[in-house]
């Protein structure tokens, strides 16, 4: 092979053009009566280090690939043992010199030999379709070079009928990890080369369907739907349920039930041309901008959305249908009504599911050039005419593929690509091709090209100003609706502050909701670490665990953030009713379209957390936006105690996405308040015979230090004030945040290494008082801390008084006590549960009696950090102790110390504490916190709001201990 022909093989890699030889984009449909052959499966594979290491002779029929390895298609070769994944947020992992790419350019040659099925029609043509290849592919069939393409998450088709043989077809695909296209695909995710979506051979009969556009609008004033299917190849459109039988291009107007995300009514139809019948699933709906709002079918919608990257912990972005369905079901079950397909068009089957189950979709183009921010956006491809054809190609491939989905209600140009003429060209093309959907792009701050004002991570205060219309800005923008296309950064513990955003969205019409960042942690299943994140593959540049910022853990189990979000966005609000009425429930329908007839309501009363009475509650089928006050049966009679009512809204019947009885929403209110524990101080501290111990009721103390040793038979170690928590990702904050990265400030101050100096141990008539000063080395500030112990003989009461000394300019991470117990397994408590909660993530915490194990209390954040607190705990039992709070407290218990948690990088670093490493016999560490600092979402967004700050100020709180024997 000569040098010249080798160059021919690789020149396209660094060419800004979208490709050559491919068919024009067209509508995607899931099936038809034309035959197709999936070419998914095991392919022969050879990996080279550079684009030109091997010539193209492998594409010739007869080539012997016997010594090649194999990979599964769809798949990424780096997740199949060949090379490694790389994670960067916005940095290009190669020198920025567009459109040049590095010499080290992992290149995967893929080979597949296939026979046609015996009944493959002899007539007609055939198309070979690739649904997604990262980042650049050249394709040969039976030795003929078909062409090449870029645009990783977009479909590409070739005409191949003339090349097919009945048997022994040789399909060869050369895939380069890096190409000019990589400059347009700088999304915050793993770089994962490969043929990662389906490869299909499609028979194209004579007079088959080519491109078609289903226009199905809904007139909310008349209740009529109008269907018109424009088709490149003329034919007929039938919709039996609507008695529609019209020619393509002809409109038909009939009464219909409209499609919405809440009521996803689809009508089955058929588009039939001379050579092909394509099933259609038609949803009638009209999206418009009117009165400055996004309206569907005449009503404004509120997006309760998530950003969804495609992710599977073993398969990367090669998702199977079950996983896609699981995502949709999980979203529906957690009250999510919208998805932004960040930051590329998803596998097409995902949109079929969104149509079917009902989700509003912002379909985003495969475009991000974020890395150019490092050079002030100089040479940004979106502002360089040479790249415009590639941008237009990407826009067209998205719109043409996905235009027939009722779920798609907005197009998005892409993400974080700066601004430029290329984006404007895309916007003009999209507006022209599909005026029926508004256009989104967050980077267009003045909304010159877009139809909605969109921002990411704007702080609550600014969002409120925008809601009030006080944000000024370009004239055009002022008249537009607002969405937060990203907010609530779900990295690690959090996000905090979701409820506060939701209140704003509900208060101001202009605020049409938002999309939490993001759906799932992109952790990669890994033998070494459980789940790997950036840096775990030795990348020279990486962004660590910033890739694990989802509402789902990598295995798709919901994180507390998702449980919180579900509660915050519930479609029905259930709250305490009118004034002075303990037993009236106000129910509000927060949906945009559906009434409440799909829901059944149940009431119950809890006394001291135990349900004592329950029944069905009759709630009118309120229309969207309506409220009603509903009277509950009178509260239970009897000895009483703290009493709550709890009302739940459940699915009244099975739905496509959850069974009857699934809890959609709930509310709880106090009917009779709690009586705090009272422990008369009847006992007096007694010094033991040897003088080294003091006994007070059931407790034994060290006489010299005042340290608690035992309560009854339960040994207690290291009980003392604790202010440290293993900083969360949100405590640490993103590196670009200024001033308030408290995780770092706390560490700088030394809050993780507080010293405890006992100043006095005083035994009086009725109390043992231990005075201490708690302070970090090198600092003058501290916390004067007094522990006052009293007892009634059986119970032991500890009152902790804390007085800050010096100039505390930072909030405290937590304020409470911690101690070690030799062992504990089962935990029982009366308080908030079942899951974790912190001051600004506590919406979903329901007061009841709960049981868990110590291990079950842990939240497995991929990067270990503070987790697992239970809120509003009245009392808890564990390890032989009963602890009651005055007032309620936050309970955390784990088999390691906060310091060990803080030091861990992966969950596999956490091993249960042993006598040797904790310096004591403690097997379980318990934190009883009077207060916690809020969580916020400062890993990319605002920190905790001021009302969730834990300020250092004089504070007093108590716990009552008794041994449970």
Catalytically active residues, by annotation: 416, 486
Place of tokens 């409440």: 596
Q: Which residue, 415 or 898, has its beta carbon nearer to ligand GAL?
A: 415
Sequence-ordered list of residues with C-beta below 8 angstroms from that of 723, at least 6 positions apart, any chain: 751, 754, 774, 783, 812, 813, 814, 815
> What is the smallest separation between the CB atom of 189 and ligand GAL, expressed in angstroms?
8
CA distances from 687 to 79, 678, 723, 757 (A): 66, 25, 31, 22
Planar angle of CA 152, 155, 159, nearest 5 degrees: 125
Residue 844, Cβ neighbours under 10 Å: how many? 24
In DSSP terms, 525 is beta-bridged to: 531
Q: What is the distance between the alpha carbons of residues 894 and 22, in angstroms, rounded to a whole number?
A: 58
Query: β-pairing, 267-273 with 235-239?
Result: antiparallel
Do the beta carbons of residue 157 and residue 129 sit within 8 Å? yes
> What is the smallest separation between the CB atom of 416 and ligand GAL, expressed in angstroms?
5
Q: Which residue, 416 or 521, has its beta carbon nearer to ligand GAL?
A: 416
> What is the smallest separation between the CB atom of 570 and ligand GAL, expressed in angstroms?
26
Q: Which residue, 549 or 731, has its beta carbon nearer to ligand GAL?
A: 549
Supply the angle between the helices 348-357 and 321-333 in degrees, to the nearest 10: 40
> What is the smallest separation between the CB atom of 18 and ligand GAL, expressed in angstroms?
23
Q: Which residues contact ligand GAL (rule: CB under 6 A)?
A: 89, 187-188, 343, 415-416, 456, 486, 489, 517, 546, 549, 940
Q: What is the distance between the alpha carbons of residues 113 and 129, in angstroms, rounded to a whole number?
A: 16
Query: Which burial class, exposed, middle or buried, applies to 535 when counting CB atoms under 10 A from its CB (0-12, 13-18, 19+)?
Result: middle
Supply the angle between the helices 388-402 and 348-357 in degrees, to the nearest 10: 40
Do the beta carbons of residue 549 and residue 595 sit within 8 Å? no
**Strands, E assignment, 406-510:** 408-412, 439-440, 453-456, 482-487
Closest CA to 221 of 285, 291, 298, 300: 298
Q: Which residue, 364 or 886, has its beta carbon nearer to ligand GAL?
A: 364
Strands across the sheet containing 293-296 = 287-290, 293-296, 299-300
> What is the smallest separation between the CB atom of 546 and ligand GAL, expressed in angstroms?
6
> What is the smallest separation between the CB atom of 573 and ligand GAL, expressed in angstroms?
30
Q: Which residue, 454 or 588, has its beta carbon nearer to ligand GAL?
A: 454
Do the beta carbons of residue 534 and residue 80 sit within 8 Å? no
Planar angle of CA 203, 206, 207, nearest 5 degrees: 115
CA distances from 960 to 434, 791, 797, 798 (A): 67, 9, 4, 6
Q: Which residue, 3 or 736, has its beta carbon nearer to ligand GAL?
A: 736
Question: Which residue's CB atom is positioned nearest to ligand GAL?
Answer: 188
CA distances from 954 to 72, 312, 804 (A): 63, 49, 6
Give me 575's structure tokens.
Answer: 């709250």
Q: What is the distance between the alpha carbons of residues 3 and 9, in angstroms, rounded to a whole number?
A: 10
Q: Which residue, 134 or 549, has its beta carbon nearer to ligand GAL?
A: 549
With DSSP H G I counted as helix, E B as strand and the rest as coil, what are the percentages for the chain, rounded to 5? Answer: 15, 40, 45
Q: What is the distance between the alpha carbons of residues 847 and 843, in angstroms, rounded to a whole number?
A: 11
Q: Which residue, 496 or 609, has its beta carbon nearer to ligand GAL?
A: 496
- Alpha helices (runs of H) in 793-897, residue ranges in sequence order: none
Q: Which residue, 187 or 859, has its beta carbon nearer to ligand GAL?
A: 187
> What is the smallest separation between the CB atom of 517 and ligand GAL, expressed in angstroms?
5
Q: What is the distance between the alpha carbons of residues 240 and 230, in angstroms, rounded to a whole number?
A: 19
Q: Which residue, 456 or 587, has its beta carbon nearer to ligand GAL?
A: 456
Q: What is the SS3 assignment for 394?
A: helix
> What is the smallest separation between the CB atom of 87 and ligand GAL, expressed in angstroms?
11
Q: Which residue, 523 or 782, has its beta carbon nearer to ligand GAL?
A: 523
Q: Which residue, 364 or 683, has its beta carbon nearer to ligand GAL?
A: 364
Sequence-ordered list of residues with C-beta below 8 angstroms from that of 577, at least 6 positions apart, any chain: 583, 584, 585, 586, 629, 630
Closest CA to 845 of 878, 869, 820, 875: 869
> What is the smallest separation between the CB atom of 370 and ligand GAL, expressed in angstroms?
7
Q: What is the distance between the alpha carbons of residues 578 and 425, in angstroms, rounded to a whole number?
A: 55
Supply the angle between the helices 498-507 and 460-468 in degrees, to the nearest 10: 0
> What is the smallest separation between the CB atom of 442 and ligand GAL, expressed in angstroms?
8
Strands across the sheet containing 156-159 = 36-38, 199-204, 125-130, 156-159
Q: What is the distance between the alpha carbons of residues 873 and 719, in angstroms, rounded to a whole number?
A: 19
Sequence-ordered list of residues with C-beta below 8 angstroms from that of 551, at least 6 positions apart, any chain: 306, 334, 490, 516, 518, 519, 520, 558, 559, 561, 562, 565
> What is the smallest separation between the CB atom of 489 and ligand GAL, expressed in angstroms?
6
> What is the smallest separation between the CB atom of 106 and ligand GAL, expressed in angstroms?
24
Q: Which residue, 211 or 539, has its beta carbon nearer to ligand GAL?
A: 539
> What is the smallest separation between the CB atom of 491 and ligand GAL, expressed in angstroms?
7
CA dihedral for 680, 684, 685, 686, sign (positive or negative):
negative
């Amino acid at each position: 092979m000569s040098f010249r022909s080798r160059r021919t093989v690789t020149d396209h890699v660094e060419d800004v053009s979208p490709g050559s030889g491919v068919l024009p984009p067209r509508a995607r449909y899931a099936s038809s009566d034309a035959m197709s052959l999936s070419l998914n499966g095991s392919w022969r594979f050879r990996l080279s280090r550079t684009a030109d290491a091997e010539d193209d002779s492998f594409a010739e029929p007869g080539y012997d690939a016997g010594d090649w390895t194999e990979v599964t298609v769809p798949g990424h070769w780096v997740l199949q043992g060949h090379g490694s994944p790389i994670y960067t947020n916005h940095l290009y992992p190669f020198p920025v010199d567009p459109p040049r790419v590095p010499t080290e350019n992992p290149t995967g040659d893929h080979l597949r030999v296939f026979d046609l099925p015996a009944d493959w029609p002899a007539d007609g043509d055939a198309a070979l379709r690739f649904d997604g290849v990262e980042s650049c592919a050249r394709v040969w069939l039976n030795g003929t070079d078909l062409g090449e393409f870029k645009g990783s998450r977009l479909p590409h088709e070739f005409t191949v009928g003339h090349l097919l043989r009945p048997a022994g077809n040789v399909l060869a695909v050369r895939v380069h990890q890096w190409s000019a296209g990589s400059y347009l695909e700088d999304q915050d995710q793993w770089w994962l080369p490969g043929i990662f979506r389906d490869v299909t051979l499609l028979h194209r009969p004579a007079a088959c369907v080519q491109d078609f556009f289903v226009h199905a609008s809904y007139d909310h004033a008349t209740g009529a739907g109008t269907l018109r299917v424009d088709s490149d190849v003329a034919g007929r459109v039938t919709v039996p349920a609507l008695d529609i039988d019209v020619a393509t291009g002809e409109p038909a107007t009939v009464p219909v039930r409209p499609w919405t995300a809440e009521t996803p009514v689809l009508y089955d139809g058929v588009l039939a041309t001379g050579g092909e019948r394509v099933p259609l699933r038609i949803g009638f709906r009209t999206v418009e901008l009117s009165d400055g709002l996004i309206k569907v079918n005449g009503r404004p919608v509120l997006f309760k959305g998530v950003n969804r990257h495609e992710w599977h912990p073993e398969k990367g972005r090669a998702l199977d249908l079950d996983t896609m369905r699981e995502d949709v079901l999980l979203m529906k079950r957690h009250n999510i009504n919208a998805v932004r397909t960040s930051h590329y068009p998803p596998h097409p089957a995902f949109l079929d599911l969104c149509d079917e189950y009902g989700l509003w979709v912002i379909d985003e183009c495969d475009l991000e050039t974020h890395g150019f921010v490092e050079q002030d956006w100089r040479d940004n491809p979106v502002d360089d005419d040479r790249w415009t054809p590639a941008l237009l190609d990407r826009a067209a491939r998205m719109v043409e593929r996905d235009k027939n989905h009722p779920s798609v209600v907005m197009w998005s140009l892409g993400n974080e690509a700066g601004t430029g003429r290329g984006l404007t060209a895309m916007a003009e093309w999209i507006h022209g091709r599909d005026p029926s959907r508004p256009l989104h792009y967050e980077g267009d701050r003045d909304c010159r090209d877009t139809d909605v004002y969109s921002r990411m991570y704007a702080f609550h205060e600014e969002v409120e100003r925008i809601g009030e219309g006080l944000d000024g800005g370009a004239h055009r923008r002022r008249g537009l609706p607002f969405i937060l296309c990203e907010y609530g950064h779900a990295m690690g513990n959090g996000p905090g502050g979701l409820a506060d955003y939701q209140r704003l969205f509900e208060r101001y019409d202009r605020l049409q909701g938002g999309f939490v960042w993001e759906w799932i942690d992109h952790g990669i299943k890994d033998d070494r670490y459980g789940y790997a994140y950036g840096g775990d593959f030795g990348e020279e540049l990486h962004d660590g665990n910033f890739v694990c910022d989802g509402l789902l853990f990598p295995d798709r189990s919901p994180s507390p953030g998702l449980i919180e979000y579900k509660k915050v966005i519930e479609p029905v609000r259930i709250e305490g009713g009118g004034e002075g009425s303990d037993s009236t429930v106000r129910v509000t329908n927060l949906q945009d379209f559906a009434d409440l007839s799909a829901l059944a309501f149940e009431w119950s009363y809890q006394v001291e957390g135990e349900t004592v009475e329950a029944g069905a509650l009759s709630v009118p089928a309120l229309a969207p936006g309506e409220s009603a006050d509903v009277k509950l049966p009178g509260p239970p009679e009897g000895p009483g105690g703290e009493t709550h009512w709890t009302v739940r809204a459940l699915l009244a019947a099975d739905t496509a996405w959850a069974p009857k009885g699934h809890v959609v929403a709930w509310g709880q209110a106090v009917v009779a308040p709690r009586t705090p524990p009272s422990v008369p101080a009847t006992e007096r501290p007694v010094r033991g015979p040897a003088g080294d111990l003091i006994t007070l009721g059931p407790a034994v103390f060290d006489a010299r230090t005042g340290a608690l040793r035992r309560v009854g038979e339960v040994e207690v170690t290291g009980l003392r004030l604790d202010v440290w928590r293993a900083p969360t990702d949100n405590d640490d904050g993103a590196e670009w945040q200024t001033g308030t990265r408290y995780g770092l400030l706390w560490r700088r101050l030394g809050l993780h290494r507080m010293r405890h100096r006992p100043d006095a141990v005083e035994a009086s008539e009725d109390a043992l008082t231990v005075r201490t000063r708690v302070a970090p080395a090198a600092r003058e500030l501290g916390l004067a801390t007094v522990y006052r112990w009293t007892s009634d003989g059986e119970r032991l009461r500890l009152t902790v008084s804390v007085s800050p000394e010096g100039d505390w300019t930072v909030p405290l991470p937590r304020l409470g006590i911690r101690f070690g117990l030799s062992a504990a397994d089962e935990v029982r408590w009366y308080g908030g549960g079942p899951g974790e909660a912190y001051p600004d993530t506590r919406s979903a915490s329901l007061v009841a009696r709960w049981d868990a194990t110590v291990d079950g209390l842990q939240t497995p954040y991929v990067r270990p950090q503070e987790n697992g607190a239970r809120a509003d705990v009245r009392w808890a039992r564990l390890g032989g102790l009963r602890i009651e709070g005055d007032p309620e407290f936050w309970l955390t218990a784990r088999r390691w110390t906060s310091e060990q948690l803080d030091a861990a990088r992966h969950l596999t670093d956490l091993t249960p504490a042993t006598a040797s490493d904790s310096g004591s016999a403690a097997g379980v560490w318990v934190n009883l916190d009077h207060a916690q600092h809020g969580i916020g979402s400062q890993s990319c967004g605002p920190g905790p709001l001021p009302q969730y700050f834990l300020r250092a100020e004089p504070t007093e709180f108590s716990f009552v201990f008794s041994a449970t024997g």
